[in-house]
Amino acid sequence: MHKLLCLLFLTLAACSNVSELGDIQGEWTISKELAAAPIVGISDGETAELIGDKLSISEREILFQNQSCDYSRVETNEQTIAEFLQFYSLDTNTKLPVGTSVLGVDCEGDMAIKHLLNSEDKLWLIWYGVLLEADRI
């Protein structure tokens, strides 16, 4: 019986991670800049050129701007939205929908994405100090 309960627990834990992955997997289009840190790594013109670009998230890889990273897990981060914004030196008055989740990503490769924000059919990521909003295609 003890083995059965352990197996059930492991199955539930694995399924919960899969549902988080399913929330972000797919094709996205960058729709706008939501906020920017005081010091960013790209110009206003370069930021404007990102609007309309595609972001692709598969089961194990994130592709954006001809860069990629591999990841093995996505998990809910304990940070609040305010803590997330403060961590990246973004305007703490930036408005995000109620229920937005901060996700931790162990992304390694050409780009290093450590956090994503997710709410229904919207996703936000930090790109060179700019918080970009993406819509699901």
Q: Residue 97 is encoded by which pair of tokens?
A: 């929908």
Let me know: does 62 contact 68? Beta carbons within 8 Å: yes
Looking at residues 55-84, what average pLDDT do you find? 94
What's the whole-model pTM score? 0.82
Question: In whole angstroms, what is the distance from residue 117 CA to residue 123 CA?
Answer: 6
Report the b/e string of 127-136 with b at 16+ CB within 10 A. Answer: bbbbbbbbee
Whole-angstrom CA distances from 30 to 16, 55, 80, 93 are: 27, 7, 23, 21
Provide the residue range defining the domain that includes 100. 2-136
The pLDDT, as a whole number, for residue 45 is 98
Mean pLDDT of 28-41: 97
pLDDT of residue 36: 97
Report DSSP state, residue 136: E
The upper half-sphere exposure of residue 105, i.e. CA atoms within 13 Å in the direction of its Cβ, equals: 29
pLDDT tier at 2, thresholds 50, 70, 90 = very low
Number of domains observed in the structure of the chain: 1
How far is Cα 21 from Cα 6, in angstroms, rounded to an integer?
23
Confidence of residue 131 (pLDDT cuts 50, 70, 90): very high
